[in-house]
């Protein structure tokens, strides 16, 4: 799709991803592709997930948060990169 993942931070219960999306794609379509593709890959590698019943092929939560304007790129990149430390109180990041 031409989507570039600029920063990725995986937490125990959520994921922060900073991506650059070509204007021909909607954010919703990219999120759908990322969730679907990663779900299939995770289920292939962690086979016991296929035996668990979360609903029909459900691995990720239905919702997501997106911000597209108002903050410079370096601030967003740092937010995603250091999110685990911010959540745990180990780092103070001025936004």
What's residue 18's pLDDT? 87
Domain ranges of the chain: 4-87
pTM equals: 0.65
Instruction: Evaluate if residue 86 carries a pLDDT over 60.
Output: no
**SS3 at position 32:** helix
Read off the pLDDT of residues 15-64 as tens digits, 9 standing for 90 and up: 888 888 999 999 999 999 988 888 888 878 887 776 666 655 667 778 88
**Cα–Cα dist 32/28, whole Å:** 6
Task: Let me know the angle formed at the C-alpha of 82 by 5 and 4, rounded to the nearest 5 degrees.
Answer: 5
Active-site residue list: 79
**SS3 at position 36:** helix
**Cα–Cα dist 78/46, whole Å:** 30
- The residue ranges of DSSP E strands in the chain, in sequence order, are 4-10, 15-20
């Amino acid at each position: 799709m031409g989507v570039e993942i600029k920063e990725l931070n995986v937490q125990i219960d959520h994921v922060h991803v900073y991506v650059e999306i070509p204007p021909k794609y909607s954010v919703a379509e990219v999120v759908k592709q990322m969730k679907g593709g990663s779900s299939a890959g995770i289920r292939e590698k962690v086979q016991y997930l296929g035996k668990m019943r979360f609903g029909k092929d459900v691995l990720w939560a239905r919702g997501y948060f997106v911000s597209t304007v108002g903050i410079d790129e370096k601030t967003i990149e740092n937010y995603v990169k250091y999110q685990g430390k911010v959540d745990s109180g180990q780092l103070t990041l001025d936004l």
